[in-house]
Amino acid sequence: MLTSRTAARSLETAEIGPAIEGRSLWADARIRFFRNKAAVAGLIVLIFVALFALFGSHLTPWSNEEVDWSVLGNVEEAGRPSIATRHFFGTDALGRDLFARTVQGTQISLMVGLIGAMIAVVVGTIYGATAGYYGDRVDNIMMRIVDVLMSVPYMFVLILLLVVFGRSVLLLFVGIGLISWLDMARIARGQTLSIKNKEFVEAAHAIGVRPATIIRRHIVPNLLGVVIVYATLLVPNMIIYESFISFLGLGVQEPLTSWGALISDGASQMQYGTLWMLGFPLFFFVITLFAFFFVGDGLRDALDPKDR
């Protein structure tokens, strides 16, 4: 009897093993993301492009506006990429250093993409969450407004704004962002319809929490997964829109430049054999778009609860 009691007490006080710690959704998503080789490769490329935009101007003695008179008028020969002249990417048709201008174009295009996507995500999320939470007549009115705006040709409106109010980077930011929030609003509204009937939302409503507070503290935080994934896929679309506008000559004005403007200048000089003027900006444009798409796909797979 004593032996059995002693054994029972020893089992009660024995250490069965280390405690099992659970992982949160975000910790699990992080692990799953870094297992995706394509997504990790895309993230590394984005870090490289960001470092190039931030510190690239310190790697060349030339500014983006400075003209090298020794190559002006002889772009086919002297304007080629050269370490001796410190023109690492060569020069453009006006004798300006293409490396410095590619750095500036990277900065402008990334700013347009990131700021435009941020505006679209913030406006679309708040609008869609509000429409989905209130529902009924409010939802119908708000979403019909979205339907009407989506029927308007997006690119036509943006070009019209730039023609009427003049070309400026600020107008490009606002124009791209404020028109691109419509898809985000529909996505946020659909997710909100499934979230607002959850127990924690009904409990907050039962104790008298105001609707604006419920949307801010309960609805929007639960949309972050979808919002983050859509934002990573929205940034390359913003960059493509900006590049297309700049390619048409309606984007940023000189002395500023962007990937679209550089690609347009390089394409116009291809007949003279100056492939570097097109190749280097196009290279950064393509790898950045692919990197964002790979990261977006990786985040979508990592944050999908069905694959946990």
Residue 127 has pLDDT above 60, yes or no: yes
Asked which of 77-81, 143-147, 247-251 is least confident by mean pLDDT, the reply is: 77-81
- The closest alpha carbon to 71, from 88, 51, 90, 57, belongs to 90
Higher pLDDT, 244 or 126: 126
Structure confidence at residue 23 as a pLDDT band (50, 70, 90): low
Burial of 259 (0-12, 13-18, 19+ CB in 10 A): buried
Would you state the pLDDT for residue 21?
53
Would you state the pLDDT for residue 62?
83
C-beta separation of 97 from 68 below 8 A: yes
Would you state the pLDDT for residue 201?
83
Structure confidence at residue 16 as a pLDDT band (50, 70, 90): very low
Percentage, residues of the chain above pLDDT 90: 13
Higher pLDDT, 283 or 170: 283
